């Protein structure tokens, strides 16, 4: 099911720092700094990172030896390319919400280069000084947000947060590929920006 209950979602999403102590924050920052050195190279997993795994801040690969994501960053390529404007550093987000999360985490202007998940139409926009400027011909860009308020969080569900050219394309994709047990929310870019801010900003 798809709805537009933005205010409800904004009220219940939690900031990732809520359950992190000072040591957790230091470990997360350590991994982010390592990630920024080479966004495509996974970091080596260390036992001290176990607390971040348990708190769903990082994900490790099947071997248990590599850190493959540090929210909101992912070590690899996706169709959600993020360019940091002041350095031209290129990285990728694992979900649409994470793309906004990169802006809030780094506190830097970014350009997002992606496409409609339903029809592949190019989508691009910049976030500069906290304002969104659409660069692509698509103007009514929508963001799919999987509302997991009453469902166990999983990476598979979270990664279903995609960009779409309009609400109709979003609805079509959900009908074809969505999880029938998940309540999906149709967001504008500004609404997605605000939700990501609540999740990732300190």
| Per-residue pLDDT at 151 | 53
| Per-residue pLDDT at 180 | 85
The answer to whether 58 touches 52, Cβ cutoff 8 Å, is yes
| Per-residue pLDDT at 86 | 92
Which DSSP category does 19 fall into?
G
Specify the 3-state DSSP secondary structure of 165.
coil
CATH assignment of 2-200?
3.30.450.410
Instruction: Extract the residue ranges of the chain whose pLDDT is less than 70.
Output: 1, 3, 149-153
- Helix or strand run (H / E) with residue 162: none
| Per-residue pLDDT at 83 | 97
* All structural domains of the chain with their residue ranges: 2-200
Dihedral-angle region of residue 109 (phi above 0 means left; psi in -120 to 50 means alpha; beta otherwise): beta
- In the chain, % helix, strand, coil (3-state, to 5) comes to 35, 25, 40
Please calculate the CA angle 184-182-154 and round it to the nearest 5 degrees: 110
Question: Quick one: angle between helices 96-106 and 189-200, nearest 10?
Answer: 60
The rounded distance, in Å, linking the Cα atoms of 120 and 101 is 23
Quote the pTM value: 0.93
């Amino acid at each position: 099911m798809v709805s537009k209950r933005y205010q409800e979602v904004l009220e219940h999403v939690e900031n990732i720092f809520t359950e992190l102590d000072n040591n957790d924050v230091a470990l997360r920052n350590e991994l982010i700094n390592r990630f920024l050195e080479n966004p495509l190279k996974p970091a080596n997993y260390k036992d001290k990172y176990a607390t971040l795994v348990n708190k769903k801040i990082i994900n490790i690969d099947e071997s248990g030896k590599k850190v493959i994501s540090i929210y909101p960053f992912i070590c690899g390529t996706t169709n959600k390319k993020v360019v940091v404007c002041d350095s031209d550093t290129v990285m990728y987000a694992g979900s649409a919400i994470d793309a906004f999360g990169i802006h809030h985490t780094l506190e830097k202007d970014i350009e997002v280069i992606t496409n409609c998940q339903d029809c592949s139409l190019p989508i691009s926009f910049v976030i500069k000084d906290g304002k969104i400027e659409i660069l692509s011909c698509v103007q009514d860009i929508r963001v799919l947000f999987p509302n997991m308020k009453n469902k166990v969080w999983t990476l598979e569900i979270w990664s279903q947060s995609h960009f779409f050219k309009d609400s109709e394309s979003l609805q079509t994709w959900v009908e074809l590929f969505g999880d029938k047990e998940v309540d999906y929310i149709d967001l504008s870019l500004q609404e997605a920006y605000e939700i990501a801010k609540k999740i990732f900003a300190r």
